[in-house]
Structure 1
Amino acid sequence: MTTEKTTLLEFPCEFPLKIMGKQAEEFAQTITQVVQQFAPDFDPDTMEMRPSSTGKYMGLTCTINATSQVQLDDLYRALTSHPMVSVVL
């Protein structure tokens, strides 16, 4: 019996993360720092930013070079527990 988790992804792969939070001046910079802790080669110049129609929220798309499921799981945990983040997809 194997205890390995199965994943549909083949690593390494390009993996987009969609992060939403309340509009704040330092939101993108803070998220970049969190992402780079787990994906040091992430280029912040590739980050896509979209404000909500009301301007109250900001949506970011960060595409990283994912190397393992563990890396993605750890990054998701760090982002979802961050006080500036509302949702991570």
Structure 2
Amino acid sequence: MSEYDDSPIEFPCDFPIKAMGRAGVDFEATVRTLIGEYADEARAGIKIAESRNGRFVSVTVTVRATSRAQLDDIYRALHAHDDVLMTL
């Protein structure tokens, strides 16, 4: 029995990952590179949205998740990067 056996998510599945950062840097490329280390390219495209005042940007990438460990690796990589302020 692994630590992930009680996960409510059934794998494989399409899973959206959202990262938020400051506008003005190539944030989309950063997010794509970080996620690309652990998952194939986006399944449903990449969605980008700027904040109302244009200071922040969110990037949502839907990946084909194969395990909870894979998702944990993606979120750890995103959290470790200085340009990523928040993830959902």
The whole-number CA distance in structure 2 between the counterparts of 1:44 and 1:30 is 18
Matched length: 87
Between the aligned residues of both structures, percent identity stands at 37
Q: TM-score with structure 2 length normalisation? A: 0.90
RMSD, matched Cα: 1.7
Structure 2 segments unaligned to the other structure (5+ residues): none
Give the structure with the larger helix fraction.
1
Question: Which of structure 1's runs of 4+ aligned residues deviate more than 4 A?
Answer: none
In the TM superposition, 1:40-59 aligns within 5 A as 41-43=40-42, 46-59=45-58
In the TM superposition, 1:1-80 aligns within 5 A as 2-5=1-4, 6-39=6-39, 41-43=40-42, 46-80=45-79
Q: TM-score with structure 1 length normalisation? A: 0.89
The whole-number CA distance in structure 1 between the counterparts of 2:72 and 2:28 is 21
